[in-house]
Structure 1
């Protein structure tokens, strides 16, 4: 009999996973505790921008004309327990207020709410990013609460989604990692992921702690790589070097690689910053805090980049206060191809300049709604050209393709001064300088 799958939590991770499981041919039931979210998903709409996700959802959501009908949503825990064989827990694990540690309350609540309804053989699979040791604790809690007792197992299967590529990352993962305690759990997960495994995705079987550590280790490595090249940008600034050429040169070494070596205003979003902080906090609890002290400096370098961009903008305006100066900011999201503004370096820089008296106008292709909710006092424009109109300086802070394809001459006619600061080292300096712009980027020669 074909496996039936449930997905607990239908945010960014859960909605993507549910739609992808339906695409792989499974009957899927998604659960959330927010009625508005369930209603929206039931209409085939997603509460966030993720390329390809809404189309995939509409292809499978029951009740939509022409859909397969393999995907439904509910708020009923008993229905989920009755329906599924494999239950994926995809709820959020934010940073605790005022602490580095991870807030496990949503995961704990989801597992407990589900476990008390599980009677037959079931596999609960954690996908949320959690502190190492959580799976052991949750497995014991499930055993305690589930009427099915020992027939209900836990596995851990971390997610590796990149915002902007989440659908492809779920259907064609570069690796599938599962932390299991039995052959049965491994067999079930091999069945769930049979299609990507057949297509060549590596399937890595580990214990619980290793599976939990994979995601935080990967994010810590990526954060280290980004902060390393940003530290090199600071040295290039001091020495008169060019960090873009430096990155190109060291990137040819295949032990280092070219990815994540573009200097700029640093990383943000809902994963990297909070994951490395939670990793440090957990290492401290385990008595291994010395092993991760370097992550504190990684975090510090990253946050410093934002302040440096503010100072670069101040210098570009003559070195005085921002009061009365018009500043255009191109980009609000923490990365392109997303509407996510959580811990966005772009919005942080815009907000700092605004607080110091600058008249800031922001434009972003997809993040305007979320940016307005988070920073309602900033100015917003409906296009790049409108954002730049009358600006004394232009800051390019999110590397959208739309911004790379802008016509510098047309933009120059709208701006009060042709001064652009490239916070992502993604624009072509020669192209902008030919159009009469003063182009500046961190760690790059001024001419």
Structure 2
């Protein structure tokens, strides 16, 4: 028989069990739910505050988006609408005429396409390209439909640019070239300033001291941005006057096509060599040089020196933006010769060894005038007191206002093959 004390203990124990069960089975889940709802409420209140601030500043954000879209569109406008083989060919053709330079070989490499979002697109056939453009047009059409005016308003800025629909195309163009040293520098500037975006991806070149020519090859990366509304204008090829009814006979030229090609090649080589006459083509060499160009912050107007002097220890210069007298004098005999040259107040005396049947070559490299204020020029006094000929070649001079003039010739001196 249980005592009253034991009965009370059992009653107390049962009550505790009931209270514990009620807490863990009923109260705790309810309290946890209250805490979760409270946290969610706080999060929603924070988001509400942020959205209210964004709504209050919507004009500022809209103006910022408009400004960003304007800048994006300006950047896109700097890229051509597309690349094509015709554009690449005309780029090379215009460069040959403007620089001048000779491209003996062109190679069209495989292109690379990427969406602006970074997704790469494999080179596609015409059918695949048409399907891609159709998908872009469909996506653009679907993007214009919205049942919610506020959604249209919020998406207005991004619809203007359509960045998701834009694709970048990188087309590689391989070129093998030959030009003068000055023409090589013009080529680099021509690529830098060309209206279409392109960079030199790879370049190899060499310089011939004997001919003064730069030969080499390069790979250009031509960039374009494709997208809805960006259509490539028709390329002006300017080839209407090219060709002949009979490719083996040219009546205007009066000879065979092979004769015409030979004459064109000869004219082009003369153009590359600074319009030197044909008589001077066999007399190319660079024992000494005179370089005449515009005076800038980084370059002197006149430089004279030995052609093979990489240390420039034999160089003399003048930074005067005016016409100056240049004296070049060769003396000596029996293979040992003294060479004296002077420009302005600078002068230098050098020695050179030549065979008894050899020649001393002076190469004068001029350039076109940069502006009306460009007055850099020289008057040459060429004196030969030696027992071998002195050959002077003047090239790349300004056609309308030459920088180089021969003031005096003494002794056995030939200028441009005897043309001056």
TM-score of the superposed pair, with normalisation by structure 1:
0.27
Structure in which a larger fraction of residues adopt helix: 1
Structure in which a larger fraction of residues adopt strand: 2
Bigger radius of gyration: 2
TM-score of the superposed pair, with normalisation by structure 2:
0.29
